[in-house]
Each structure stands twice: as structure tokens, then as C-alpha cells.
Amino acid sequence: MSINLPLILTLAVFITGLIWLYDVLVLARPRREALAAVDQQFSKLNLAEEQKQAAYAEARETAGREPVLVEYSKSFFPVLLVVFVLRSFLVEPFQIPSGSMEPTLEIGDFILVNKYTYGIRVPVLNKEAIPVNKPQRGDVMVFFPPHQPDTYFIKRVIGLPGDLISYNNHVLTINGEVVPEKLIAELPAGNPTYRIATETIDGKEFTVKKDLNPGGLSIRGTWRVPAGHYFMMGDNRDNSADSRAWGDVSEDAIVGKAFAVWMHWDSFFSLPSFDRVGKIQ
């Protein structure tokens, strides 16, 4: 079972904020009264200054002591609220778990995803509240796929609503027009098994990886993208489960647009690297 982090964060913000508010409206009043009583009591005592100050400080600390739950809520609420706002409406970090977007994104890349490019969405429900922009062909997008609605996926937008997409023997066609491909290299040198090439869609050039022998999803297929949906493909064309396998992605499943790599970290036992930092093409 996947952990629903947006739901957990939303509940944490709501609960800690509610406890803080309850303290302000209800619990704080007796503490204020107790502190006032301490002030009044010590104003009448005739003690040595040093002794009086120590006793006064201890009495005020005891009278004004907050319940542990309130203390923790006041400490965590501001931090949780900032994280909630940033993660829900501005930018969210993700780590790439698979090689389906190679060579654009590698396993271990940490990326940043713009959460408002495709509209402001209601946290947890993921419903668009304020329209901004729509996904464009060539964008790298994070979303929830139809077959795993609680798991984040990242692929490239290939087809928009109404588009006719064909992919036959590694030749990509959109609405009857073949997407231009330019060979970069066949690798490994001497005994190649795959090729690296660039494709250009709507003026956006990006790099793809294709096996010399097309895989099952690359041999033949034609799809019409329904209204309100998008056709997604991985840049590692023969090693990506995408819309060719499980269908189109609904607008309600969009998370955001991936725009930058900010770190690469292979594993817990390795050192982070910043060699791949940069904009995602």
C-alpha cells in the first residue's frame, strides 16, 4: 500500500492548527488567570531580592506551563504549514525510481515539479480550482496513472486531447505528421544494442533511447486521445510502461510539470552528486 503523503500532511496541519486555536480560545485563559494571581501574590511578599526573583520565576513557569500537546502543536504547526503551502501549490521534490525516462532522467535524480503551471489544485482531492495553463506536447509531467491512482509517475506529454497518435517500429506520428528524429549515437560502441536520438515536437527538442530491435510496445499501435486526457510516453521507449500499455491520463490525475534536476543520489550509501543539475528538456 502506498503512503498518501498529501493526506497525512493535510491532516497534520489541520490537527496541529486546531489544537493551537483551541488553546488560544479555551486553554490559555486559566493560564493567564494563574499568572495574574502569581503576580499579585509576589507583589505583596517581603523577601530578599534574589530569593524573591528565583521563587517568582519558578511560580510563573509553573502557572504558565502549556500542555505538552499544545507545546508540540505550536512548534510544528508553522513548519508544517510552510511545507504544506510549498508542496501543495508551488514546488514539490521527487526522486526518479526507474529508468523509463532515460536518458533525460536517470534513476536517482531528484527533480523539482512546478505545482501551479497546470492550474492551482485542491490538496488531496487534486481537483483544479484555478485554471492556469494546459499541458503541451513535449512537457515532462508528473501524474497518477489510471492503473495506479495513488502512485506518482513521470513521462513526457506526446498527445493532447483529440490527437491521433501512431507509433510503428519506433516511428512516432502525431495527427498524420511524422516526428523528426536525429541520430546521435548507437551504443555500446562496437556491439550496439540501442541508439540515442533526438526528437522534435512543436519546436521542443529532447533526447530519447530506443533499442535497435523494437520492443512489444514499439512495434505497432494507434490511439485517439479522448477529451480531457493526455497521451504519455517515456523517453526510454522500449523500457517504459506508459499510455501505450495502460491508456490516457485524465486532467484530474495531473500533479505538475517537472522543470529541473537539483541533485543525483544513487543510494543511501553513496554521496550525492550535483553534476546533473539543470533544466529538464
Tens-of-pLDDT digits for all 281 residues of the chain?
467 888 899 999 999 999 999 999 999 999 988 888 888 887 776 666 677 778 888 888 888 899 999 999 999 999 999 999 999 999 999 999 999 999 999 999 999 999 999 999 998 888 899 999 999 999 999 999 999 988 999 999 999 999 999 999 999 999 999 999 999 999 999 999 999 999 999 999 999 999 999 999 999 999 999 999 999 999 999 999 999 999 999 999 999 999 999 999 988 888 999 999 999 99
DSSP 272: -
> Which of 138, 256, 147, 154 lies closest to 200, judged by CA?
138
DSSP 113: E
| Candidates 73, 88, 115, 155; catalytic one | 155
The total of other beta-carbon atoms located within 10 Å of residue 102's CB is 21
74 included as an active-site residue = no
- What pTM does this model have? 0.86
100 included as an active-site residue = yes
Q: CA-to-CA distance for 103 and 105, rounded, in angstroms? A: 6
| Candidates 73, 88, 100, 218; catalytic one | 100
Q: CA-to-CA distance for 255 and 152, rounded, in angstroms? A: 8
What domains lie within the chain, and their CATH numbers?
Answer: 5-88 (no CATH), 96-279 (2.10.109.10)
Residue 132 makes CB contacts below 8 A (sequence gap 6+) with 116, 117, 118, 119, 120
